[in-house]
């Protein structure tokens, strides 16, 4: 009897894992019952009961006509009742973009070939030359301190260089005069600029992200493209895009800005158009833009545009959100004033207009795109959000890691470098591990865009998690710098970044919104292999087709759930070892591939059970949705790290960073899983889910102290691993930034340490004093060591240079008390120049 029951369990798990057809289930059940009757002696009554309980349901499911009548049709009616109402804007947002690796992770059984079939990201010769020449030259024209404190903007020569050298047309095709750069190149440019000057990065980033150029390329008429794209590429037009307003921030679809269809006069001719009223804010480049992209809601109360029936008309003649291009010189357009987002100096401000008449031809895409603006925006944002903020965040994070790791290695306190203290190790490891991870995420997301994807869920993951981990990096850097980090001035390489980090957290969808509503809310529908099919079938007007489509999706979904339950159980019992890793995976990382497979399967099961338990209310259970999104996100971040390790040739020196990043992400995914179950309404279901996924308790711990110290030491060691970690940023020389002295001192540390090690016997015997900390004492020490014959002249020069570089690096800026009056005179002069330039 025991073996017979065990056979049922084993065969059932195997069949669920393999997702066999209902017919095979029917045969297997019949054979098992027959074996019980023949060899176990279960008796006639028990046999009949088992046939009624198991064979009959299996037979109904196996016979499709019977199944559709008895099971599918009632299930479809129930599904329609519990399906939450979806607005048109919600549907547009969900349908926008494409799915890619996120769908693989949602499948519970990711196909790693999909990920590794992408070639490693590379730049063309033209792109590499632009990065090494034009981008490098732009960086030499600016400093973050001067743009912030003196110009409160980019200086005129920088603006001119940007416009003259094609920075505003990186995504525009060459036949329109643009650069036609790849998404990866776009990312590299923004990252490099952001490592040096935030205003430069943002001023270049916005025209190449969600804005007129992208919208024109995707949806513009031929006439609009021919007119505007060459002007945008050549810097003759400076664009901005106005979406957000005082009463429509995160809920951008609720914009109250209105355009009423009417007849008006334009260029002395009566023409059909809109009388538009708007009030927008937070518009980057708005104060200096010459071309305003505007989103507003179109109403056609008189039917002037919609009377032919080609438009979907909603309440009160609402045709939907529409996007138009308006020259800022057009009568009635109000721009010019500025916001001060945490004193960042990129141009940002409000724009407004009241009853401004614009012709119909100014709608992006013309008449055919009236009312389709929201979908246009969502589809463009799906790609742009994967590039802009991840790239800028990685840029300033690399600068933070470069400067802080050098400072920790050379800054002595208590007679030893602070970088040797375990408390500093913890902070440095967080900086280095997180940087390796977010740079990997940036690279993979850009590669997805270059492969033709518009990854809406992945872009949301990238934006949220890269900016949040960037905040961790900057905060840790400030903790290490201590007093040096809090005194503003040109010697402080981190303070402005620390001040402006919340901007990245806020824009392009506030991070709270992104985490709670978008990542899983959109992913559960688009990435799930069956949910969107079920929703689409439920909305099908043809009843016969609806039933057929729903039957396929629903029973595929049921099979999917049982398969994931079996795989979750196998993964939990074996701690993932029974789930295969790719054959090509490196031996040192195979357990991580298995861990991702295990968590992916457990996540897929938990997602389906949660959708069943909460039903339509899951839409409002934001903490549950957020934590489910966290699991999906961490799996994507780990995938990015694994992909980067492959693309960079499996550099063994990078393994400490790889291990830290993956272990941290796995731990966070696991904790999100447990947090969901701790707050589950059904305790029995929560217990079952925990027992199946983690039968022996938590499996994934945070990175160990030993690993943290290994990462911290690697960051303080000059060599290829650290170089790869901070690669492709701008490296100013000492004439432009005092941070360069820190790097010079850092590179001299091995030679200084070698000299000190050689002199230890003399120091121990009292013939020579120990190395002092202050510059004055160090100079005396060097002179005494030279006079005593302990060091050579060459070593004296090296030690003097090292002491000089360290001294400059540890200093902070101070200013005269009349700074306000002096700076005010400078600023007035500079701002007059800027105003004249922008005119």
By annotation, the residues acting in catalysis are 508
Output the CA–CA distances (angstroms, integers) from residue 168 to 98, 515, 720, in the order listed. 26, 31, 34
Determine the Cα–Cα distance for residues 730 and 177; give it in Å rounded to an integer: 27
The SS3 of residue 263 is strand
Exposure pattern of 620-646 as b/e (b: 16+ CB <10 Å)?
Answer: ebbebbbbbbbbbbbbbbbbbbbbbbb
Report the DSSP pairing between strands 291-299 and 258-266: parallel
Tokens of 468: 């949040």
Determine the Cα–Cα distance for residues 198 and 130; give it in Å rounded to an integer: 19
Determine the Cα–Cα distance for residues 611 and 609; give it in Å rounded to an integer: 5
Tokens of 747: 């590179």
Report the DSSP pairing between strands 269-284 and 348-359: antiparallel
Identify the sign of the CA torsion 220, 226, 229, 232. negative
Report the DSSP pairing between strands 412-413 and 318-327: unpaired
Q: Which residue has the tokens 């400072």?
A: 407
Which residues, at least 6 apart from 296, have a Cβ–Cβ distance to it below 8 Å?
A: 255, 257, 258, 259, 274, 276, 278, 321, 322, 324
CA neighbours closer than 13 Å in the CB half-sphere of residue 319? 29
Determine the Cα–Cα distance for residues 658 and 590; give it in Å rounded to an integer: 13
Identify the sign of the CA torsion 228, 230, 232, 236. negative
Report the DSSP pairing between strands 412-413 and 416-417: antiparallel
Output the CA–CA distances (angstroms, integers) from residue 217 to 204, 214, 232, 284, 686, in the order listed. 18, 5, 12, 20, 49
Output the CA–CA distances (angstroms, integers) from residue 506 to 130, 143, 284, 388, 465, in the order listed. 31, 25, 13, 13, 13
H/E element, 120:
none
Determine the Cα–Cα distance for residues 141 and 739; give it in Å rounded to an integer: 17
């Amino acid at each position: 009897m025991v073996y017979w029951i065990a056979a049922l369990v084993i065969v059932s798990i195997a069949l669920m894992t393999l997702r066999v057809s209902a017919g095979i289930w029917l045969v297997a059940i019949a054979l098992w019952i027959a074996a019980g009757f023949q060899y176990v002696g279960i008796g006639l009554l028990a046999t009949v009961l088992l046939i009624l309980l198991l064979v009959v349901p299996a037979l109904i499911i196996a016979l499709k006509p019977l199944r559709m009548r008895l099971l599918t049709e009632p299930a479809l009616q129930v599904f329609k009742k519990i399906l939450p109402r979806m607005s048109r804007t919600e549907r547009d947002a969900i349908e926008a973009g494409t799915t890619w690796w996120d769908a693989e992770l949602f499948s519970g059984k990711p196909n790693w070939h999909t990920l590794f079939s992408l070639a490693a990201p590379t730049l063309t010769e033209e792109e590499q030359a632009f990065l090494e020449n034009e981008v490098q030259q732009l960086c030499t024209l600016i400093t973050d301190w001067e743009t912030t404190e003196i110009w409160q903007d980019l200086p005129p020569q920088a603006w001119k260089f940007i416009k003259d050298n094609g920075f505003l047309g990186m995504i525009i095709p060459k036949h329109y005069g643009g650069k036609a750069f790849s998404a990866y190149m776009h990312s590299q440019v923004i990252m490099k600029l952001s490592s040096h000057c935030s205003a430069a990065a943002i001023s270049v980033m916005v025209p190449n992200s969600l804005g007129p150029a992208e919208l024109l390329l995707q949806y513009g008429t031929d006439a609009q493209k021919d007119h505007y794209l060459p002007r945008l590429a050549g810097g003759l037009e400076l664009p901005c895009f106005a979406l957000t307003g005082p009463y429509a921030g995160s809920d951008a679809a609720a914009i109250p800005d209105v355009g009423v269809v009417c007849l008006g006069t334009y260029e002395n001719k009566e023409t059909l158009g809109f009388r538009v009223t708007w009030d927008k804010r937070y518009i980057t480049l708005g104060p200096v833009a010459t071309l305003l992209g505007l989103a507003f809601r179109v109403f056609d109360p008189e039917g002037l545009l919609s009377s032919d029936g080609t438009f979907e008309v909603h309440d009160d003649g609402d045709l939907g959100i529409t996007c138009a291009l308006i020259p800022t010189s057009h009568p009635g357009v109000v721009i010019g004033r500025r916001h001060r987002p945490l004193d960042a100096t990129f141009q940002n401000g409000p724009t407004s207009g009241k009853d401004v008449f614009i012709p119909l031809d100014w709608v992006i895409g013309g008449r055919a795109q009236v009312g389709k603006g929201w979908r246009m925006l969502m589809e463009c944002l799906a790609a742009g959000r994967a590039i802009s903020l991840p790239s800028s965040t990685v840029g300033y994070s690399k600068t933070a890691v470069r400067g802080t790791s050098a400072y920790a290695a050379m800054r002595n306190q208590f007679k030893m470098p602070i970088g040797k203290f375990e408390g500093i190790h913890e902070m440095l490891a967080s900086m280095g591990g997180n940087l390796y991870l977010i740079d990997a995420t940036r690279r993979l997301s850009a590669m997805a865009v270059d492969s033709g994807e518009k990854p809406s869920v992945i872009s949301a993951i990238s934006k949220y998690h890269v900016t949040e981990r960037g905040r961790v990096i900057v905060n840790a850097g400030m903790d290490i710098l201590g007093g040096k980090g809090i005194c503003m001035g040109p010697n402080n390489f981190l303070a402005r970044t620390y001040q402006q980090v919340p901007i990245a957290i806020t824009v392009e969808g506030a991070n709270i919104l992104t985490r709670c509503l978008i990542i899983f809310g959109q992913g559960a529908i688009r990435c799930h292999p069956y949910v969107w099919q079920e929703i689409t079938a439920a909305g099908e007007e043809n009843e016969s087709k609806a039933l057929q489509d729903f039957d396929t999706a629903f029973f595929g979904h049921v099979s999917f759930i049982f398969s994931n339950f079996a795989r979750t159980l196998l993964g939990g019992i074996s701690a993932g070892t029974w789930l295969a890793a790719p054959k090509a995976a490196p031996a040192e990382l195979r357990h991580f591939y298995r861990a991702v497979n295990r968590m992916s399967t457990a996540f897929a099961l938990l997602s389906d059970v949660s959708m069943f338990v909460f039903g339509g209310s899951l839409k409002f259970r934001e903490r549950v949705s957020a934590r489910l999104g966290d699991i999906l996100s961490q799996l994507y971040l780990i995938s990015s790290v694994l992909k980067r390790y492959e693309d960079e040739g499996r550099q063994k020196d990078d393994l400490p960073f790889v291990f830290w990043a993956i272990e941290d992400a796995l731990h966070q995914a696991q904790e999100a899983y447990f947090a969901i179950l701790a707050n589950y309404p059904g305790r029995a279901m929560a217990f079952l889910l925990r027992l199946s996924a983690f039968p022996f308790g938590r499996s994934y711990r945070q990175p160990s102290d030993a690993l943290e110290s290994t990462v911290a030491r690697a960051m303080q060691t000059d060599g290829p691993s650290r170089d790869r970690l901070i690669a492709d940023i701008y490296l100013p020389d000492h004439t432009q930034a005092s941070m360069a002295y820190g790097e010079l001192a850092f590179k001299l540390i091995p030679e200084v340490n070698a000299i000190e090690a050689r002199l230890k016997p003399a120091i121990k015997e009292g013939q020579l004093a120990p190395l002092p900390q202050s510059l004055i004492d160090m100079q005396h020490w060097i002179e005494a060591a030279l006079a005593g014959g302990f060091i050579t002249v060459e070593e004296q020069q090296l030690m003097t240079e090292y002491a000089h570089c360290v001294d400059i690096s540890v200093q902070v800026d101070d200013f005269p008390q009349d700074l306000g009056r002096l700076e005010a005179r400078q600023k007035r002069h500079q701002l007059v120049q800027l105003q004249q330039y922008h005119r």
